[in-house]
Amino acid sequence: MSGVLYGVGLGPGDPELMTLKAARLIGAADVVAYPALAGADSFARSIAAAHLKDGALELRLDVPMRVERGPAQAAYDAGAAEIAGVLETGQDVVFLCEGDPLFYGSFMYVQARLVDRFQVEVVPGVNSISASVAAMGSTLVARNEVLTVIPGPLDAEEMRARIAAADAVAIMKVGRHLGKIRAVLDGMGLAANATYVERATLAAEVVLPLAHAPDEAPYFSMILVTKGRDPWI
Amino acid sequence: MSGVLYGVGLGPGDPELMTLKAARLIGAADVVAYPALAGADSFARSIAAAHLKDGALELRLDVPMRVERGPAQAAYDAGAAEIAGVLETGQDVVFLCEGDPLFYGSFMYVQARLVDRFQVEVVPGVNSISASVAAMGSTLVARNEVLTVIPGPLDAEEMRARIAAADAVAIMKVGRHLGKIRAVLDGMGLAANATYVERATLAAEVVLPLAHAPDEAPYFSMILVTKGRDPWI
């Protein structure tokens, strides 16, 4: 009997926003795996740290961050092979995922390489939109409103069209795209409806009206845009 | 000093998908409040049941389900007044919310009535999209893809336009709109790309290709649609 691969969502960063199921699986795991940007600490591991079992085997996947996709895929090949080696011995592997494993996450690259040969179970986590909206402290979307989630790298023209068609918008992965996003929202007269959220739920969390946002945003930042307001609230 | 109102997300239904923070706050609460459909059990309370403190005061908000909005708003008025009475004595109130409090949730009606007078803290939960995607077991959206979230009651014409513009779609609150949604997806040639998920993470969970979905869907069901697939996975 082969082991089971668990893709476990850890939530947005505050370790207390991990689910009970994630904490249980991590606490019982003899083998965990996690991604890390080459040379840096693993954010996923840092969220899970307090629950790791003493002496657990840790498989670290160093993923290079480049526009070119080949090197990262080679890293997933190598990581998946290492995980497969453990699963074949009958041991389970808990793969630690920031946020929610399958919501703009990289777990799919690991899963895709192993799902034909092994049982894979995904444990959902609190995603970054839920975390950012809680930090903002007011509703993004309700009732019959349409929400569109837009990655920051989208070009300005397409971004404008997507925002125009939605009742509410979450723009993810803001980072170096902040200037472009500001210009799009200004041009649409929506800047006053936009909230900037950086590192939601972490100690360094920042929540500001977009007009007061800093000039430089980290990768883990989001802009939330609402349009109308429900007349009943 | 007034008490604090906590809007606590409980996740999609499996009690183990509650966060550690939710479990801690519920376990320590002398007063909890929750919504219920008039005459029925409260789904929110059922998720939280194992963590409720013995002897905790329970404030139940009976919310009538009607198209007409006045009666529900009157129920929120009454519930908010009752909660305010407790907060004024200095006691905290933990408001139990299915899923994520501010993601298509009703907590906003309670919050809106109290936020000017009391401190309100929102604890995000695993939302129904993350839960349904985990049940489906494959990625809905990744990298620079645009996700659009569409409530089932939207009319067919608008639904078609929103689906056409997105890379991936989550259609919430399917219920009695299943026939219309099927027709829209069939007409767009996307039926084969659609997965039907009912009661994600509960014992009664159902996951099927849309073609094999039942003729009647409950309110807590979702249709997930993907278009292209990342060539790298």
pLDDT (tens digit per residue) in A11-30: 999 999 999 999 999 999 99
Average per-residue pLDDT for chain A:
94
Please report the pLDDT score of residue A230 as a whole number. Answer: 57
Distance from CA of B100 to the nearest CA of A (A): 7
Side-chain half-sphere exposure of A77, counting CA atoms within 13 A? 7
pLDDT score for A111: 95
Give the Cα separation of A96 and A26 in Å (integer). Answer: 8
CA atoms of A165 and B154, how far apart (whole Å):
14
Contact criterion met (CB < 8 Å) for B148 and A150: no
Q: What are phi and psi of B126, to 5 degrees?
A: -65, 125
Question: Residue B108's closest CA among A72, A114, A136, A148?
Answer: A136
Q: What is the pLDDT of residues B46-71, one digit of tens each?
A: 999 999 999 999 999 998 877 677 88
pLDDT, mean of residues A42-63? 96
Mutation for B interface: A5, A16, A19, most B CBs within 10 A: A19
Start-to-end CA distance of chain B, whole Å, equals 55
**Chain A, nearest residue to B105 by Cα:** A142
pLDDT at B233 over 70: no
Q: What is the pLDDT of residue B231?
A: 53
- How far apart CA B229 and CA B142 sit, in angstroms, is 10
Domains and CATH numbers, chain B: 4-123 (3.40.1010.10), 128-226 (3.30.950.10)
Nearest to A191 by CA among A202, A182, A179: A182
How many beta-carbon pairs under 8 angstroms link A with B? 187
Instruction: Report the gap between the CA of A141 and the closest CA in chain B (Å).
Output: 6
- Per-residue pLDDT, averaged over A207-215, amounts to 95
**Cβ A111 vs Cβ A22: under 8 Å:** no
Q: pLDDT tens, A89-114?
A: 999 999 999 999 999 998 999 999 99
**What's the CA gap between B76 and B91, in Å, rounded?**
20
What pLDDT score was predicted for residue B210? Answer: 96
> Sheet containing B57-63: which strands, arranged edge to edge?
B57-63, B31-37, B93-97, B4-9, B119-123
Extract the tokens encoding B166. 């997105």
Q: What is the residue type of B37?
A: L
- B14: its two tokens: 């499996």
The DSSP symbol for A12 reads: S
Give the relative orientation of helices B20-28 and A20-28 as an angle to the nearest 10 degrees.
120
Q: What does the pLDDT average to over B150-156?
A: 96
Residue at token pair 């903002």: A136
The phi, psi pair for A16, rounded to 5°, reads -75, -10
d(CA A4, CA A94): 8
Q: Which residue among B125, B138, B149 sits closest to A147, beta carbon to beta carbon?
A: B149
The residue of chain A nearest to residue B169, with distances taken between CA atoms, is: A148
pLDDT class for B40, splitting at 50, 70, 90?
A: confident
Taking every pair of C-alpha atoms in chain B, what is the biggest distance, in angstroms? 60
Task: Kindly determine whether residue B111 and residue A12, on different chains, have CB atoms separated by under 8 Å.
Answer: no
> Once rounded to an integer, what is the mean pLDDT over residues B135-164?
94
Q: Are B137 and A122 within 8 A, CB to CB?
A: yes
Query: What percent of chain A has pLDDT above 70?
Result: 97
Which residues in chain A are contacts of B13 at CB distance < 8 A?
Answer: none
- Show residues of chain A in contact with B144, CB under 8 Å: 151, 153-154
Number of helices (H), then strands (E), belonging to chain B: the values are 7, 10
Contact B140/A17, CB-based, under 8 Å? no
- Could A16 and B20 be called an inter-chain contact, meaning their C-beta atoms sit closer than 8 Å? yes
